[in-house]
Amino acid sequence: MRKRNSTQLKEKMSGYWLNAFAVLAPGLRHAVKKLGQNVPCPIDGGTDGFRLFNDANETGGGVKQSERIIPEGIDMLMWVNNWSFTQAFDELEGWMNGAPIQSQPVIHIPKVKVVDEANLRKWLNRIWGESLSLEHQMSYPARAYFGYRRISQAALTASDIRFHPNLNYKDTNGNSLGTFGAVLCLVRNNEGNPVSIHRTFLTKSGVKVNLGEKNKARKVTPPVLKDSKGRQLRLFEPKNGYLGVCEGLETALAVHQAKQLPIWPNLSNTNLHSFIAPPGIHTVINFVDKDRSKAGKKPAGENSALILEANLKAQGIRVINLLPPIPILDTDKKGVDWADQLIRDPRGFDLIDQAVDFVQLKQA
C-alpha cells in the first residue's frame, strides 16, 4: 500500500493553499477573495458563517463559525468537498504535479430567500410601536418572568427591552399556533442600527411558552440590513473602557444584576464571531457558557471564545474569558451559564472582581 506523508505534503503546500483552493474547491472562492473576513458558509449559506484565516495561504486553515476550527488545508478540502483523506491528498499531489482533477468537488448552492425589506421594516416598527414599557400594568408577565430568574432590577434598568401583550406565535414553518405576550428586545448591528427584534414568548403567569420541540417559535425576527455585521442587544452603556459580552439575554441580566457591569448579549455564538467593540473599549469580558463536550469537539461556547478573542486582539482589545465556576449537573441538558450561577451560587461572581483587579494591576 502506498504511504501518504501528510507532513511532507503540507510543507510543500505552504504558500500555495489559496491557489489550490481556487482550483480544487470552488466553494471556497468567495472566502479566498475576502481572506480573513466572514463570508457565507460554502455549505450552509447564510451571511457570515465562515472565513479563511489571514494565514490561510500558509496553513489552509479557517473556521466554520459556531461549530469548529478547521486548522489545515487537507482538513479543509475534506470538509468542503466531502472528500476522504486519500482523495484530498491525491488531488493536492496531482495539482502540484499538473495532473487533472480526478475527484469532482462538491459544490453546495444554498437557497436564498428573497425578503421584502420595506414591508419587513414596516412590520418590525409596528410591533415595536405596539409594545409597552416593563413598568406598565399589562407587562406583569415580563416582570414575573424576570423575577423568577432574580434579574428584575437589571431588566427594569436596561435599554431596548419592552413587552408586547398579544403577539402572533408561529412555528419555524410559519404556521400560527396562537397569540401570547412576549418580551421584546431591539437587536442592533455593529454600527448600532436596529435590524431585528428578539422575542421571548410568555404565558400570562410569566413562564416561557412551551408547545413542544416541533413547535418552537423563531426567537429572532428576520433582519433588515441583512448584510450588515454583528447582532447584539445594547442593554447598558459601556463604562471606563470595559464591556461585557455573552450569548444569552438572561446571562447578561444576571451579570448586571450581580455586578452592575455593562454587558451586551450577542444571542448566538456565530454572532459573537462577528462582534466589533465600539470606540473607547480597551477590555472585553466574555461570559462564556459552559457547554457539555461532544465527542471529538471542543464545547461550542469555549470554541466561540477562542474565535472572539482572536478577532478582538487583532483590534488591539484585551479579552478576558470567564466560565461559570458551578459544575454541570446531570439535570443540565446542554450545560450551565452565568444566569444559572446567579441562582445556584452568587459568590461565583467574585471572579469578575478578580479579573478586573488583575487587569488594572497590569495597567498600573
pTM here is 0.71
The β-bridge relationship of strands 68-70 and 62-64 is antiparallel
**Does the domain formed by 115-228 have CATH 3.90.980?**
yes
Res. 295: pLDDT tops 70: no
Write down the pLDDT at residue 360: 65
Write down the pLDDT at residue 131: 98
Q: What is the rounded average pLDDT of the residues 275-295?
A: 91
Q: Which residue has the higher pLDDT, 99 or 155?
A: 155
Q: Residue 253 carries which side chain, given as an amino acid letter?
A: L
Write down the domain spans for the chain: 6-96, 115-228, 229-364
Phi-psi region of 174 (alpha: psi -120 to 50; beta: other; left: phi over 0): left
Write down the pLDDT at residue 303: 83
The β-bridge relationship of strands 318-322 and 45-52 is unpaired
Write out the DSSP string of 191-207: TS-EEEEEEEEE-TTS-
pLDDT band with cut points at 50, 70 and 90 for residue 304: confident
Q: What is the rounded average pLDDT of the residues 222-241?
A: 93
Q: Which residue has the higher pLDDT, 361 or 87?
A: 87
pLDDT band with cut points at 50, 70 and 90 for residue 128: very high
CA 313 to each of CA 35, 68, 277, 284, 320: distance values in angstroms, whole numbers, following the listed order: 18, 20, 11, 10, 11
Choosing among 1.10.10, 3.40.1360, 3.30.70, 3.40.50, the CATH entry for 229-364 is: 3.40.1360
Res. 258: pLDDT tops 50: yes
Name the average pLDDT for the chain: 89
Q: Which residue has the higher pLDDT, 266 or 364?
A: 266
Res. 25: pLDDT tops 50: yes
Q: What is the rounded average pLDDT of the residues 303-329?
A: 93
Res. 47: pLDDT tops 90: no
| 302-337 residues labelled b (16+ CB within 10 A) or e (exposed) | bbbbebbbebbeeeebbbbbbbbbbebeeeeeebbb
Nearby residues of 245 by Cβ (< 8 Å), 6 or more positions away: 232, 263, 264, 265, 266, 272, 275, 284, 285, 286, 287, 308
CA 340 to each of CA 178, 272, 345, 361: distance values in angstroms, whole numbers, following the listed order: 30, 20, 8, 30
The conformation of residue 147, written as its DSSP 8-state character, comes to H
Residue with cell 505552504: 14
Nearest CA to 56 out of 97, 21, 102, 12 is that of 21
pLDDT band with cut points at 50, 70 and 90 for residue 361: low
Q: What is the rounded average pLDDT of the residues 61-83?
A: 88
Chain segment 136-177, per-residue pLDDT in tens = 999 999 999 999 999 999 999 999 999 999 999 987 667 888
Write down the pLDDT at residue 364: 44
Res. 66: pLDDT tops 90: no
Nearby residues of 182 by Cβ (< 8 Å), 6 or more positions away: 163, 164, 167, 199, 200, 201, 202
The β-bridge relationship of strands 242-246 and 263-265 is parallel
Residue with cell 414553518: 173
Chain segment 177-228, per-residue pLDDT in tens = 899 999 999 999 999 999 999 999 999 999 999 988 777 778 999 999 988 9
Nearest CA to 321 out of 330, 313, 329 is that of 313
pLDDT band with cut points at 50, 70 and 90 for residue 39: confident
